[in-house]
Amino acid sequence: MKKYKLFTLLLVCMLLVLTACSGDTSESGNKEKNNGKVKGENPAIARGNELVIRVPGDPQNWDPIDTYLLAWSMVGTSVFEGLVSRSLDLEIQPGLAESWEYVDDKTLVFQLRNGVTFHNGEPFNAEAVKFTFDRLLGEEGQKGPQYSNYTSIDRVEVTGDYEVTMYLKAIDPVLLTKLSGYGAVIVPPKYITEQGAENFDMKPVGTGPFKMTDYQRDKEVVVERYADYWNKDAIKLDKVTFKVIPETATALAELQTGNIDIMTRLEVAQAATAEGTDFITLMDVPTPTAYSIRFDTAKAPVDDVRVRQAINFAIDKETIVKEILGGYGKLISSFQSELSFGYNKDLQPYPYDPEKAKKLLAEANVPEGTTLEFYIPGTDGTFKEIAQAVAFYLQEVGLKVSINSVENTTFQSELIPKGDAGHMYKNGWGGWTLDFDNTAYLMYHEGEFWNPTYKNDKVEQLLTAERATNDSTEREKIFKELTDVLYEDAAEVNLYSEVEIYGVNKRVKDFQPPHDGRFRFEGVTVE
């Protein structure tokens, strides 16, 4: 019964916050909102044919081989294009290549679009594609974070003015999805050669529907419609400004005063306040991002599978999603969302069963009062609430939890890869390939950067097997077995896949929030 006391307290706190934020809901109160404007007026209408979008961060560098950040793709997808593209419905479709064909499992031929130009007027052709991949796979690209995604590619050869042939070192069943990603977008050879990589970092040039016309680091990025874009009729907006606003409270204020049209990553606790403004609507979208509590299996007592299973049984994940996330999350049984190829629909999340947890802990001879170190990034307020709930649940089965909040860069780049993030820690993964291959290999393959200690021989065999075939039916079968093994071994507590909330000004028409955070503006208009 104690769990209900916890969430009653949480709910009361949330209601107090929402009441304080919402203010007076009477007629006179509404007239005081939005700097004195009468509720219902839309101050953004005067802005004209442009959008202003809040983004939470700045990648600091616009060269696609130098980044692995969602902050890059939110803007970069409008500036750059790859050989293939991914639609808002997550379907692979033609990009700068009109078509492609596998000659065999390791040879792929692309037919390229004619008449495409880069934003500086430089022509797009087969030579530009070869330059891009020579750069990505060469000495320069190997210094960056994108290189590891494309190591299956041996080389790219020009086989016609508008034809390239890609030769692989090994079968890569996720290659086309990777080619729609950040690192494989095509870059201008002449511009980079003449202007240099450092200039390209700050003044990027691509073939996309918008060209970057202004960049003020940590403040804003402005992109304007490219008049010579090959599919220009699909683009209706003249300009999009991306404002960098890290603090969600500031972003919500900017949304309510009409200074921005779209707010990304609106927090659950802000939803009622945002929706209470007449000209704002809420939109939500399931994402491939998954969250878990990862165990360091080299540390006792979580080196014992019975302890890891016990912790899974001890945590009421359904209540966490319902009460802390307000329902904006989907329970998962493996470390991927249901959008991912390889998601095992037959596998159910561990049920909430504290008595089963106590029994397993007793079998593992874990003394009551044993303390577990739990590391989380200090910038994530929502996950801090989750961590506190987890501590409460584990206390109910006899375990103590010490929550350690640390700076995010230190957490991601030092503590996790060095195995210094306690017995367990927050683990989040974007799942951008929409295929369990990328997630599973980087999370569970021995020796990977974010996997300092976990090893399971059966998992290693299955990871090798799924990468040895392009047969989707066979790969799905392998993934089913792999997720079963990982579930039984309880490498983590799988919590939920994220449902992202957007606050959108009602003057914006035909906008679809992206599942993967990569904005696309085909057909989007404003009133």
* Three-state secondary structure readout of 83-103: CEEECCCCCEEECCEEEEEEE
Distance CA 195, CA 209 (A): 22
Distance CA 122, CA 317 (A): 53
Contact yes or no for 503/250 (Cβ under 8 A): no
pLDDT reported for residue 408: 83
pLDDT string in tens for the chain (527-residue length): 344 445 444 443 444 334 344 444 333 333 344 443 335 689 999 999 999 999 999 999 999 999 878 889 999 999 999 999 999 999 999 999 999 999 999 999 999 999 999 999 999 999 999 999 999 999 999 998 899 889 999 999 999 999 999 999 999 999 999 999 889 999 999 999 999 999 999 999 999 999 999 999 999 999 999 999 999 999 999 999 999 998 999 999 999 999 999 999 998 889 999 999 999 999 999 999 999 999 999 999 999 999 999 999 999 999 999 999 999 999 999 999 999 999 999 999 999 999 999 999 999 999 999 999 999 998 788 899 999 999 999 999 999 999 999 998 899 889 999 999 999 999 999 888 899 998 999 999 999 989 999 999 999 999 999 999 999 999 999 999 999 999 999 999 999 999 999 999 999 999 999 999 999 999 999 99
**Domains in the chain, please, with CATH?**
1-61+208-279+506-527 (3.40.190.10), 81-196 (3.90.76.10), 286-500 (3.10.105.10)
Residue 301, preceding peptide bond in cis (omega within 30° of 0): yes
Contacts of 470 by beta carbon, 8 Å cutoff, 6+ apart: 102, 105, 171, 173
Distance CA 221, CA 58 (A): 9
Q: Where are the alpha helices (DSSP H) in 337-471?
A: 354-363, 381-396, 408-410, 436-444, 457-466
Instruction: Indicate the length of the chain as a whole number.
Output: 527
Contact yes or no for 440/451 (Cβ under 8 A): no
Measured CA distances, 104 to 66, 108, 252, 435 (Å): 31, 7, 52, 22
Distance CA 295, CA 411 (A): 15
pLDDT reported for residue 382: 87
Which two tokens mark 69?
Answer: 């950040």
Distance CA 464, CA 467 (A): 5
Measured CA distances, 303 to 68, 312, 495, 521 (Å): 31, 14, 20, 48
Phi, psi of 438, rounded to the nearest 5 degrees: -60, -45
Angle formed at CA 54 by CA 51 and CA 60, multiple of 5 degrees:
110
The pairing of beta strand 220-225 with beta strand 239-244: antiparallel
Distance CA 237, CA 523 (A): 9
Contacts of 111 by beta carbon, 8 Å cutoff, 6+ apart: 97, 98, 99, 100, 162, 163
What is the pTM assigned to this prediction? 0.82
pLDDT reported for residue 307: 98
Give the relative orientation of helices 354-363 and 305-314 as an angle to the nearest 10 degrees: 160
Closest to 467 (Cα-Cα) out of 82, 169, 173, 55: 173
Which two tokens mark 140?
Answer: 């320069």
Which two tokens mark 40?
Answer: 């219902």
What is the residue-wise DSSP string for 222-258?
EEEE-TT-TTGGGB--SEEEEEE---HHHHHHHHHTT
Measured CA distances, 23 to 19, 26, 30, 34, 223 (Å): 6, 9, 9, 12, 37
Residue 88 buriedness (CB in 10 A; 0-12 / 13-18 / 19+)? middle
> What residue has token string 């603090």?
247
For residue 375, the SS3 value is strand
Which two tokens mark 452?
Answer: 């300092």
Q: Fill in the amino acid letter for 443.
A: M
Identify how many contiguous H helices and E strands the chain contains and give both numbers: 18, 19
